[in-house]
């Protein structure tokens, strides 16, 4: 139950950052290994992974949450029952973005490799792949979902 909290991990191993019912929380992992960032029932939370390996970001029942992976490997971003969640993967490898029962969620893959975006029972979700390789976008029982592939290679978009 914090306000304006920040958690910064730099070149760390097995680091974890947990924000529970927080406002304006920030979690930044830079060149870390096995880092995790968990936001639960938070508002305006942000999770940034920069050049990290095996990083994980989980937003549960959060509002205006953002998860940004930059030049990371095996990064994952999970939004569960969130509102206005954003997931951005830039020049990452094996990144995954999963939105479950979310509203107004967005998933952007920019110049990434083997990126995946999964929207399950979401509303107004968007998945954008830009200059990516082997990217996939799966919409399962979603409403008003959109999938945009721009200058990508071997990209797939599946609506179920």
At 44 the three-state DSSP class reads: coil
Kindly report, residue by residue over 85-99, the tens digit of the pLDDT: 888 888 888 888 888
Query: What sign does the CA torsion over 111, 27, 6, 127 have?
Result: positive
Mean pLDDT over residues 44-59, rounded? 85
Using CA atoms, how far apart are residues 34 and 36, in angstroms rounded to an integer? Answer: 7
Q: Which is nearest to 66 in space by CA: 122, 108, 119, 13?
A: 108
Which tens digit of pLDDT belongs to each residue from 11-43? 888 888 888 888 888 888 888 899 888 888 888
pLDDT for the residue numbered 153: 85
On the question of pLDDT at 159 being above 70, the answer is no
Element (H, E) at 15: none
Q: How many helices (H) and strands (E) does the chain have?
A: 0, 16
SS3 39: strand
The pLDDT value recorded for residue 1 is 67
- The DSSP-derived string for 135-159 is -EEEEES-BS-EEEEES-BS-EEEE
pLDDT in tens, 96-148: 888 888 888 888 888 888 888 888 888 888 888 888 888 887 878 888 878 78
At residue 49, the 3 state secondary structure works out as: strand
Predicted pLDDT at 77: 80
pTM: 0.78
- Buried (b) or exposed (e) across 88-103, using 16+ Cβ within 10 A? bbbbbbbbbbbbbbbb
By C-alpha distance, which of 91, 86, 93, 90 is closest to 57? Answer: 86
């Amino acid at each position: 139950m914090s306000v304006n909290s920040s958690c910064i991990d730099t070149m760390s191993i097995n680091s974890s950052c947990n924000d529970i019912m927080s406002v304006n929380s920030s979690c930044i992992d830079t060149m870390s290994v096995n880092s995790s960032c968990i936001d639960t029932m938070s508002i305006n939370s942000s999770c940034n992974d920069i050049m990290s390996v095996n990083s994980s970001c989980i937003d549960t029942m959060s509002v205006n949450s953002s998860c940004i992976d930059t030049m990371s490997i095996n990064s994952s971003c999970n939004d569960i029952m969130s509102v206005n969640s954003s997931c951005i993967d830039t020049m990452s490898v094996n990144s995954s973005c999963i939105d479950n029962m979310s509203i107004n969620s967005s998933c952007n893959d920019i110049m990434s490799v083997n990126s995946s975006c999964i929207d399950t029972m979401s509303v107004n979700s968007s998945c954008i792949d830009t200059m990516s390789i082997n990217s996939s976008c799966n919409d399962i029982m979603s409403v008003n979902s959109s999938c945009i592939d721009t200058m990508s290679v071997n990209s797939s978009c599946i609506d179920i």
